Chain A
């Protein structure tokens, strides 16, 4: 037990160190700040804009207005303020991405740990199944699921989760494998600790680095996929604002009202960019060998 607390402290120290390294990484800090800003926008949108009257209400007197002081990003073909819609659009993307990442990470962690820790047949069966899932490109798997189940937010979550689980379980399994044979795990096994205890107290915390990086990148992938699915009409349905479906709408007007296409696209790109910067920084900070 003494060894255990020592280990925790050690890993705390390890993360504190990583945090210091992360703070020194300019790119990562920019990414983190942008991302937090986007999260703030998502959380505060309902304070600034009323959904019923400012986000989805159509105003035929002010359609397709160019950006101005009244409408920062202009208005769309229904006379809705694009700025309000872009801000509200972040809510759907972030919320779904968060839910999907949490669920997929949990399922992936369980499957990956089981496979990595027990090895043998368990490993073989789990990983072969995951291989099959991974043999279908993620976006196509999501499209396939939405095609079968129909459109809707819950179905989108299911589709994205299923296509995210395999990569998580693979990463977790890899992490578990590297940690499993380490001395402190052997020690814990020797003193008769339970498997579950060993997995959650020793194996996972020590294999965390690649998992954190993967989570960040997955978050970005999910946001991109939601936008992509909505763009082809399989994601979030109107009138709820979502960046991808806003782009799909704006596409008809790209020639004369190209600003309508500009802002939702920029919003997606900045969000993904911030997550990529953060992910790169995290990888460097958590795994100093790579630098």
Chain B
């Protein structure tokens, strides 16, 4: 198992290098002279030329990327054009907020979706099944930012139960958390239900049933573990969607995370900051995928066998 984890960790390195290069390359297409933007209009041509040389802007892109990566390893993500602060400082001060939001949503969506999906499958074609699948269908169809606005309208504006926006303890986490969780909960519940249905029909489940084991034990002990494999895949995929969704959610609820920072940096043409935010998102996404893979290995013995 440890070998497997190490192998996957090593495989992460080229992906992260690739991702950083891709994002660096795309962002280098953004117009504007970084040296000029950093120094401002008052800078003399000599100052600009000096800084350009210092920053390596006269070097080929690949060399610039190399320098960026070299600094990145030491935790230096460059300097923001706008605030002139270190990008790493700005990004890391907001990153925990994004993690809190995404973590809470992931937790909520999994905790709600799994029982929902399992129960719907077990009671296939019941009223509960129909209603929960219609809700789940709506859930995967509703745009996250609109759902967020509807939540604000009902729970913050009309009922006044939760704050409209901001970052002030658990109460302010509820609405953005739900907005972000709903879509993912729906997707996870749908997958859980269909994989559960498929598993229940397998021969070995029939055998277990025939042996006279009580139905709830059949489900929890035997069916669930196998049915969970596709669910875990979907959770892994959903986390990517959640990263994108958190950008929108943070913008609807004025949540001070890196999603909002990224959007304001885009309108501010603050390329180093945008780069830093996207890298942060992508690296987190890769790491989460790795964790999903490892969990996968625990659940599915076949995969473990492959990597032994």
Contacts and interface: CB of A to CB of B under 8 A. Distances in A.
Contacts, number: 137
A231 interface: yes
Interface in A210-246: 220, 224-225, 227-228, 231-234, 244
Interface string B12-23: 001110110011
Interface string A128-160: 110111011111100111111110000000000
Q: Majority SS of interface residues in chain B?
A: helix
Interface stretch (B25-33, B62-70, B173-181, B217-225): B25-33
A224 B143 contact: yes
A131 B285 contact: no
B163 interface: no
A265 B142 CA distance: 8
Given A135-B18, A139-B247, A268 B143 contact: yes
A269 B285 contact: no
Interface stretch (A14-22, A171-179, A196-204, A270-278): A270-278
A190 interface: no
Given A136-B22, A136-B278, A149 B29 contact: yes
A228 B143 contact: yes
Q: How large is the interface on B (under 10, 10 to 19, 20 to 34, 35 or more residues)?
A: 35 or more
Contact of B244 (A140, A149, A220, A255): A140
A140 B281 contact: yes
Contacts of B144: 228
B153 A258 contact: yes
Interface in B238-264: 240-241, 243-245, 247-248, 251, 262-263
B146 A255 contact: no
A290 interface: yes
A136 B138 contact: no
A137 B27 contact: no
A261 interface: yes
A231 B145 contact: yes
A135 B285 contact: yes
B18 A128 contact: yes
Contact of A147 (B141, B142, B248, B274): B274
Interface string A251-291: 10011001001001100110011001100100000000010
B184 to A, nearest CB: 13
B146 A268 contact: yes
Contacts of B245: 139
B147 to A, nearest CB: 8
Contact of B266 (A147, A220, A244, A272): A147
A140 B143 contact: no
A137 B241 contact: yes
Nearest to A229: B248
B143 A269 contact: yes
Contacts of B26: 144-145, 148
Interface in B180-234: 194, 198
5 cross-chain pairs, A with B, having the tightest CB-CB distances, nearest first: A139-B244, A132-B18, A265-B146, A273-B141, A137-B240
Given A136-B281, A273-B138, 12 more contacts: A136-B23, A140-B244, A144-B23, A144-B27, A144-B274, A147-B274, A220-B141, A225-B244, A232-B248, A234-B266, A254-B157, A261-B153
10 contacts: A133-B22, A135-B19, A137-B241, A140-B278, A147-B27, A228-B244, A244-B143, A261-B149, A265-B146, A276-B141
